Chain A
Amino acid sequence: MAEATAAAKSKTVSTLELFGVFLQIGATSFGGGVVAYLRNALVKNKHWLDDTEFLELNSLSNTLPGLNATNMAILAGDRLRGTLGAVLAMIGMCLPALILMTAAGIAYGMNGNRPIVTAALHGVAAAATGLIAATWFQIGKKTVKGFWDAFFILAAVLGINHFKLSVPVVLLSVGALAIFAYRPVKKTDRPHEDSHAWIRFLQ
């Protein structure tokens, strides 16, 4: 199974099964870390993708705008069953959250002003801050390899929080500079770097 070609594998994946797998992940991946759920299902349990393919899709998914969860659904769905696969995987991934978060809006409208709800949500927000900080701290630990990495992180933070530049301005300017700093070189006069370390960490 693992050594089968992509073309041979695509015949073994039914669209219904594909939709079911993504719907299940979309409904059960509480607490984030959707990529780990995806790897479990697609690589370990179903053997629809091997680790190299998964990593390749995940690295692209991180480079593009859009969330990891949905980008991975689209890229993996397309790889497994073409356009229809991409659409079904995306719908499966999003549908449970769409229903839940719409319901959350209705519930918030009815109860959002009650002191007990406000207090609970205040605590939730503090916990979410710590959680998101931990996620990025761990990604940062694996990514920051030298002066330039630290420099571009600092440039983006200062641009937004200190100089009050808008996100697109920082993204285009610092992003362009960073891509230029890591521009292709003909001769390797730079030590070879592990360009996928931060992405691999997300698994």
Chain B
Amino acid sequence: MDQIPAIARVFAYLSLLTIGGGMAAFPEMKVLVINVHRWLTEPQLIHIYSVGQMSPGPNMMMVATIGERVAGIPGALVAAFAFFVPTGILTFVVGRVWNRLAAWPWRASIQRGLGPVAIGLAVAGLITFGKGAVTGWITLLVGLAVFYASVRTRVNPALLILGGAVVGVVALR
């Protein structure tokens, strides 16, 4: 319970970094959750983050899973509130102002410039994540197979992830 204020701080801060998606915040999340607060080990964080990819709705609701691990159901609620509500209010306010800025020339510059930066942050997050998730040739093959299947086919991603679980049970024990 004494971790509740830290949970609120950490996840409100991380939410501000999620430009283009949750992966942008992963390197910072790793430092804070593992090294600074020692709430999880690296494999635990990677497991929980991966399960979050299967969830319907916002895939970063895995912050509630971390909150639950640290401080039970109150921890889950605080983590979700801190992660989604402050940025939500920001979006609401900017959404109302943005239309009035249609003629502001920097509007297009911001949208155009942040596109590649969002990709770069996601790739950086993915490299950090992949170092923990791809640990040998079996996991490498699983990752490559899923990459190929998602680029080339229209299989539901949740099924591909379940496939990974099956391979894990069979080959990674």
Contact = CB atoms under 8 A, between A and B. Distances in A.
Interface string A33-71: 110000000000000000000000101111111111111
B60 to A, nearest CB: 6
A161 B128 contact: yes
B114 A183 contact: no
B6 interface: no
A30 B158 contact: yes
B55 interface: yes
Interface of B is mostly: helix
Interface residues of B, number: 110
Nearest to B95: A75
A67 B59 contact: yes
B164 A127 contact: yes
A97 B61 contact: yes
Interface residues of A, number: 103
A102 B73 CA distance: 7
A143 B56 contact: no
A183 B106 contact: yes
A86 interface: yes
A183 B139 CA distance: 43
Contacts of B132: 125
A102 to B, nearest CB: 4
Interface of A: 25-34, 57, 59-71, 74-75, 78, 83, 86, 90, 93-94, 96-98, 100-102, 104-106, 108-109, 112, 115-116, 118-140, 143-144, 148-157, 159-161, 166-168, 170-171, 174-175, 178-184, 193, 195-196, 198-199
Given A105-B76, A131-B161, A149-B115, 19 more contacts: A31-B159, A65-B17, A66-B84, A67-B59, A71-B87, A90-B84, A94-B80, A106-B68, A112-B44, A122-B43, A126-B140, A126-B142, A127-B143, A129-B133, A143-B115, A153-B116, A161-B27, A166-B28, A171-B24
